[in-house]
Amino acid sequence: MGSQRSSTASFASIYLLLLLFTKISAGFFRDDQALDRISALPGQPPVSFEQFSGYVTVNKEHGRALFYWLTEAKVDAAKKPLLLWLNGGPGCSSVAYGASEEIGPFRITRNGSSLYHNKYSWNKEANILFLESPAGVGFSYANTSSDLKTSGDGRTAQDAIVFLIGWFSRFPQYKYRDFYISGESYAGHYVPQLAKKIVECNKASSKPFINLKGVLVGNAVTDNYYDNIGTVSYWWTHAMISDRSYRSILASCNFAAAKTSRRCDHAVDYVMNHEFGDIDQYSIYTPSCAASNSTAAAAALPLRLKNTLIRRRSYGYDPCIENYAEKYYNRPDVQKAMHANTTGIPYKWTACSDTLIKEWQDSQFSMLPTYKELIRAGLRIWVFSGDTDSVVPVTATRFSVGRLRLNVKIPWYPWYAGRQVGGWSEVYEGLTFASVRGAGHEVPLFQPRRALRLFQSFLAGKPLPKS
């Protein structure tokens, strides 16, 4: 009975989205593309590509609007595909991380005064659309304050597809362009969940609703059970915890349970407070920022999900780099140039929202059933993992991928970027896995050349090079 109600609700949702899409195609919404054009950002070096940014309202009743930043391809933008990039958290900004630290065209100087070119920007290969999602992240907002305490997977995916409908209306030249979705960390939920919604809408439409071709996710939260097992295994195999603590965690924690126990929490708290030391858990072999306070960092290790063991800081790879972004995007002249904060948001722009992280309501226990649906839909699916991340480590991803029990097409092999091994890969029927050697949680930040090579292979639909 419950399943039938769910199916009916899903059909109604798809019908309303298609109706909205039809109205958009008929010119129901005003074209604001010209108003969103960025002439130049403060302190920006000269560029050959166009930029746009602004808001798309996703729920008029609640006043929810999502902020985007489009950096078009450097060459032949009209012929290049469109990539949507989502950062995770849940509650962290794609402008702060994806755009400013990873795959975007610019990096921010230490004092937040100017920008400089990213040599390995992914807009060499595609038009990149960064989305701050859900409402409450970065410049995205909700006029209904309670929305910030009731966010979850379901609403995030629904708002994201409504955003895309509105955005494609504003940018009709992209409407039927080859489209890909990528992201990292908790975007391991956002990306496949949004892809599933698009697939469902495409099935209900006479022609492709959105021309989705594939998904690419890195160091992705995938399955609570295997993520937890894989994370504790990584800690032990990389000498981060003692044999005694390893045995204690395995004995104390029921990884299949919806909630953790006090005994489990105590075992994990012990290793974090007494055995990890002052390291960057997102990149265990690189120095941590001298400007950060280890005590404060330890205090900022909340459970990001109520039903997982994994603890995560509210920060990205380098707190110092994150500080540069917070200096830059809080500048009034930058916000004016980006058409951001037009409603006067009553708080500073931050890389992550503590409220969203702490109040997250619904989280899918496992994304593996969703991946199976996307594989059946024929999408190109790549999963990659930086191998020095201890937060969502490569062991967790491999356990999850293994659970899919896919047939191997190309057995495990080293892949190359230049003359160096870039990582290791295995190609399955319906999915490609790749590790990235020497990369932490934000793969394109630590290994930009290798990450760009991986992205090029993904777009080409070809295995990573063996030599």
Within this chain, do residues 28 and 83 fall inside the same structural domain, yes or no?
A: yes
Q: Which amino acid makes up residue 169?
A: S
Residue 441 annotated to the active site: yes
Within this chain, do residues 169 and 43 fall inside the same structural domain, yes or no?
A: yes
Give me the pLDDT at residue 27, please. Answer: 46
Task: Give dist(CA 177, CA 157) in Å, integer.
Answer: 21
Residues with Cβ within 8 Å of residue 257, at least 6 apart in sequence: 307
Residue 25 annotated to the active site: no
Domain-terminating residue out of 266, 286, 314: 314
Query: Do the Cβ atoms of 186 and 441 come closer than 8 Å?
Result: no
Task: Give dist(CA 397, CA 268) in Å, integer.
Answer: 20
Query: Structurally, how many domains does the chain consist of?
Result: 2
Query: Do the Cβ atoms of 43 and 62 come closer than 8 Å?
Result: no
The neighbour count for residue 218, using CB atoms within 10 Å, is: 29
Give me the pLDDT at residue 322, please. Answer: 75
Give me the pLDDT at residue 20, please. Answer: 58
Within this chain, do residues 267 and 369 fall inside the same structural domain, yes or no?
A: no
Within this chain, do residues 181 and 39 fall inside the same structural domain, yes or no?
A: yes
Encoded tokens for 232: 């504790």
Give me the pLDDT at residue 182, please. Answer: 98
Within this chain, do residues 320 and 305 fall inside the same structural domain, yes or no?
A: no
Q: What is the CA radius of gyration of the chain?
A: 21
Task: Give dist(CA 269, CA 39) in Å, integer.
Answer: 49
Catalytic residue among 245, 435, 441, 457: 441
The three-point CA angle 34-36-37 to 5° equals: 70
Digit-by-digit pLDDT tens for the chain (467 residues) are 344 444 445 545 655 565 555 555 444 444 689 999 999 999 999 999 999 999 999 999 999 999 999 999 999 999 999 999 999 999 999 999 999 999 999 999 989 999 999 999 999 999 999 999 999 999 999 999 899 999 999 999 999 999 999 999 999 999 989 999 999 999 999 999 999 999 998 888 777 779 999 999 999 999 999 999 999 999 999 999 999 999 999 999 999 887 889 999 999 999 999 999 999 899 999 887 776 443 333 323 333 333 334 333 333 345 577 789 999 999 999 999 999 999 999 899 999 999 999 999 999 999 999 999 999 999 999 999 999 999 999 999 999 999 999 999 999 999 999 899 999 999 999 999 999 999 999 999 999 999 999 999 999 999 999 98
Domain-terminating residue out of 280, 314, 348: 314
Task: Give dist(CA 431, CA 423) in Å, integer.
Answer: 17
Residues with Cβ within 8 Å of residue 435, at least 6 apart in sequence: 384, 385, 386, 387, 394, 423, 424, 425
DSSP output for 340-361:
--TT--SS---SB-HHHHHH--
Which CA distances in Å does 111 have to 105, 160, 326, 395? 19, 33, 10, 37
Strand intervals (E) in 179-265? 179-184, 212-218
Residues with Cβ within 8 Å of residue 355, at least 6 apart in sequence: 91, 136, 148, 149
Within this chain, do residues 233 and 194 fall inside the same structural domain, yes or no?
A: no
Domain-terminating residue out of 264, 283, 314: 314
Which CA distances in Å does 261 have to 234, 306, 307? 21, 11, 10
Query: Do the Cβ atoms of 196 and 212 come closer than 8 Å?
Result: no
Give me the pLDDT at residue 304, please. Answer: 32
Within this chain, do residues 2 and 100 fall inside the same structural domain, yes or no?
A: yes
Query: Do the Cβ atoms of 351 and 325 come closer than 8 Å?
Result: yes
Catalytic residue among 182, 185, 353, 457: 185
Residue 185 annotated to the active site: yes
Within this chain, do residues 95 and 232 fall inside the same structural domain, yes or no?
A: no
Within this chain, do residues 290 and 426 fall inside the same structural domain, yes or no?
A: no
Read off the pTM.
0.90
Catalytic residue among 314, 389, 390, 457: 389
If you count them, how many residues does the chain have?
Answer: 467
Q: Which of 38, 166, 165, 152 is nearest to 104 (CA)?
A: 38
Give me the pLDDT at residue 320, please. Answer: 74
| DSSP H or E run through 460 | helix 448-460
Within this chain, do residues 222 and 233 fall inside the same structural domain, yes or no?
A: no
Q: What is the CATH number of the domain that holds 5?
A: 3.40.50.1820
Q: Which amino acid makes up residue 339?
A: H
Within this chain, do residues 247 and 308 fall inside the same structural domain, yes or no?
A: yes
Within this chain, do residues 231 and 201 fall inside the same structural domain, yes or no?
A: no
Tell me the residue range of the domain where 259 lies: 227-314
